[in-house]
Chains A and B, each alone.
Chain A
Amino acid sequence: MSSNVEITASTQAVLAEVNPTSNPRPILVQNNRSHAWITEKVCGVIEGKTPLWWWVCFAVACSVASCSVIGFTYLVSTGVGVWGHANPVNWAWDIINFVFWVGIAHAGTLISAILCLTRQNWRTSINRTAEAMTIFSIACAGLFPALHVGRVWLAMLPGYLFPVPNANGIWPNFRSALEWDVFAVNTYGSVSLLFWYVGMIPDLGTLRDRFFKRGDKIRSGIYGFFAMGWRGSARHWVHHEMAYLLLAGIGTLMVVSVCSIVSFDFATSLIPGWHTTIFPPYFVSGAIFSGFAMVLTILLPMRAIFKFEDFITPYHIDCLCKITLMMGTLVGYAYLMEFVIAWYGANPNEGFTFVNRTFGLYNWAYWIMFSCNVITPQFFWFKKVRSNFAFIFILTIFINIGMWFERFVIIVTSLVRDFLPSSWGYYSPSIVEILTFFGTFGVFSVLFLLFFRFLPIIPMSEVKTVTPQADVHGGKHS
């Protein structure tokens, strides 16, 4: 590996002929920061006094989150009739919001898993935040299937969701796509949490010792409990790195399987517009697309507030924009391909559904979806756009909106015009649904603010590995 390439006369001649452009590796931590600076900067966020803006944001987020608490309490205490569901649409914002939040979660797993396997070193400074986003999104997503049943205590009984022996002797139906979802989402949530935690153990060790030195025994004890006695031993690093790599591999499988299984909720049914084989890849690319938009929505303000410009460089933002562009284009391809298949499949019901989506009662929703998801990302072709952070932020908000509408269009437009024209209807949500969904943004923000306050936002030990000082061969190694 380390054999130095001898520059012979013939190599020189080839190089002169080919004239390769110099393509230096991008600098991932700017201003040549020292390791001590990295530790100080990241720990400083946790060790410093709680800033006023944090309290203001926390209060706002809590009051927004209370909308969800009120909405769900009203739903459970009164009954599922408080939501706007009526024949033929008996399934709307609950599943829409679930798919929306689960989709957002996928970018975090992609950044931590697939980009780890493909050795994209720029992921190091953003993966902790992206994984946090994954976990908090899954928490928001999980609220909807758990609570939409109204009589929550029944859903939680053994034998309904989870295969636990019970007095009735019944088991969940493993042939149902909804039961697959139970396994997929629980696996996703727990494995993401583990991934996040394993990556954080070394940083928790650093915080434990820093608080111990400051004489804060309580905080040192709490971080120490979770650090499990980490001491940076090279013998431990070997196991840690291997476990992390394996989790990345497993996470790669997970990122494509979970959203595929979520799409089976629809694809295994016979409803026109749902019963298509394109759904698994379509949902996965849509999920990653929406997730990257949300990562940018979170990272751009975070970078400015904590002054993390040296960690999250324009190169990082550029990479994120390019992936968003690619995924957005894939989503646009899927939208068009659905039409091709509806035409080529020659099924009149399928054809009607797609014409109805585009020009029917809900055409406004379709065109919001189409313009936000297909046209918006195309701006990222331009370098000027990718370096204008305020504009990127606005574009990502549009993508977030568009991706919510994508699920709305898929679910509602297929259901309002079912096989029986006599039961055709129009669906509109009640105020309870709207407030409940609005509240989940508060839940998400509350969790994020707590994360910003108490946990190392930037993975210090991982960022240190991509600095020039970490190279034991002084840049001469292969």
Chain B
Amino acid sequence: MAEQPYGLIATFDTAAGVYHAAESVRDAGYKNWDCITPYPVHGLDKAMGLKRSLVPVFSLAGGIAGVFTAVGLIFFTGAIDYKLVLAGRPFFSPIPAVPIIVELGIALSAFSAVAGMIVLCRFPMLYHPVLKSDRIISALDDKYLIVIEARDPMFSPTQTKALLEKMGGQDVKELEA
């Protein structure tokens, strides 16, 4: 039993409810808070004031790495390491290299997109207070949660609770850390 709770947790019944509550929490100036939804609620990222995901940067870097790996691999093996005369063809020509360049580019940019998602979400996450709560089962089914963390500078046990209740949050409780 930690003395300091993780934060406050509130349940919402509808997507619209959590959407409008998220707008209010954002406008109130909270930073360390989160919505827990069973599916990606359309527009909730804007309602929460979240930035665009950085996953594309990972993916692009992976794609470029894939292309260069393919060119390097084919050039090194064919034109430097083991020059094999095949029907008098050039040791390295970009044209027959295209399929492998495309495929390695695709493969590495896809792997990096997923790796980027895993890194940015900090997976695998072995423990999180929300996962210990009884409400997670309904939050991955048909309910919506808002969690405001106690470490947020704006956090106050009474005022934050009042805000969540005012926005229609039900069963606003402290969440054990």
Contact = CB atoms under 8 A, between A and B. Distances in A.
| Chain A partners chain B | yes
Interface of A: 34-36, 39, 163, 169-175, 177, 179-180, 183-184, 186-187, 190-191, 194-195, 198, 202, 205-206, 209-210, 212-213, 228-243, 246-247, 250-251, 253-254, 257-258, 261, 264, 460-462, 464-465, 469-474
Interface string B58-83: 01000000000000011001100110
Contact of A250 (B97, B113, B121, B130): B113
B77 A171 contact: yes
A226 B73 CA distance: 33
Interface of B: 14-16, 19-20, 22, 34-45, 48, 50, 52-56, 59, 73-74, 77-78, 81-82, 84, 86, 89, 93, 96-97, 99-100, 102-104, 106-107, 109-111, 113-114, 116-118, 120-121, 123-128, 130-131, 136-137, 139-142
A228 B121 CA distance: 10
B103 A187 contact: yes
A186 B103 CA distance: 9
Nearest to A197: B114
A243 B19 CA distance: 23
B36 to A, nearest CB: 5
A472 B144 CA distance: 12
A387 B96 CA distance: 47
B56 A242 contact: yes
Contact of A473 (B16, B34, B74): B16
B16 A472 contact: yes
A177 B141 CA distance: 48
Nearest to B75: A174
Given A194-B110, A239-B55, A472-B43, A184 B38 contact: no
Chain B interface, DSSP helix/strand/loop, else mixed: helix
Contacts of B125: 228-229, 231
B142 A39 contact: yes
Given A174-B100, A234-B35, A202 B121 contact: no
B74 A174 contact: yes
Query: Max chain A CB contacts within 10 Å: which of B22, B37, B121?
Result: B121
A233 B40 CA distance: 9
B117 A239 contact: yes
Contacts of A471: 15-16, 42
Q: Is the interface of A mostly helix, strand, loop or mixed?
A: helix
Given A171-B81, A183-B100, A191-B107, A231 B128 contact: yes
Contacts of A257: 99, 102-103, 106
B117 A240 contact: yes
Given A183-B100, A237-B37, A464-B39, A243 B116 contact: yes
A194 to B, nearest CB: 5
B152 to A, nearest CB: 14
28 contacts: A163-B77, A171-B81, A171-B82, A174-B77, A175-B86, A184-B99, A187-B107, A206-B38, A206-B140, A229-B127, A231-B128, A231-B130, A231-B139, A234-B22, A234-B36, A234-B40, A234-B41, A234-B48, A235-B50, A242-B56, A246-B56, A250-B59, A261-B99, A460-B38, A461-B40, A465-B39, A472-B20, A472-B41
Given A171-B81, A184-B99, A470 B41 contact: yes
Nearest to A184: B103
A228 B124 CA distance: 4
Nearest to B76: A171
Contacts of B86: 173, 175
B32 to A, nearest CB: 11
Given A237-B45, A243-B117, 17 more contacts: A36-B142, A175-B96, A191-B106, A194-B110, A198-B117, A228-B124, A229-B128, A232-B37, A235-B34, A237-B44, A246-B109, A257-B99, A258-B103, A464-B38, A464-B142, A470-B42, A472-B42
B110 A191 contact: yes
Choose among A177, A250, A264, A473 the residue with the greatest number of B CB atoms under 10 Å from its CB: A250
In the A-B complex, the 3 residue pairs with the closest CB atoms: A229-B125, A35-B142, A243-B117
Residue of B34, B41, B103, B124 most packed against chain A (CB within 10 A)? B103
B139 A232 contact: yes
B84 to A, nearest CB: 7
Nearest to A183: B103
Nearest to A43: B141
A236 B121 contact: yes
Nearest to A243: B117
Contact of A229 (B35, B111, B124): B124
A238 B139 CA distance: 17
Nearest to A234: B35
Given A171-B81, A257-B99, A228 B117 contact: no
B39 A238 contact: no
Contacts of B137: 209-210, 212-213
- Of listed B50, B78, B99, B139, residue having the most chain A CB within 10 A: B99
